[in-house]
Structure 1
Amino acid sequence: MNGFPFSCPVEVRYGDIDAMNHVNNAVYVSYLELARVRLWRERFAFAGSAREIPIILARAAVDYRSPIDLADSVEIGVGVSHVGRTSFTFVYRIEASGRLAAEAETVQVSFDYGAGKPTPITEAFRRQLAALRVPTGPKGA
Structure 2
Amino acid sequence: MPTMRPGGTPATVALTRAGIEFTVRGYDHDPRAASFGLEAAAALGVPAERVFKTLLVGVDGALTVAIVPVSGQLDLKALARAVGGRRAVMADPATAERATGYVVGGISPIGQRRAHPTVLDTSALAHASILVSGGRRGLDLELAPA
What TM-score, normalized to structure 2? 0.28
Flag the structure with larger Rg.
1
Larger proportion of strand:
1
Larger proportion of helix:
2
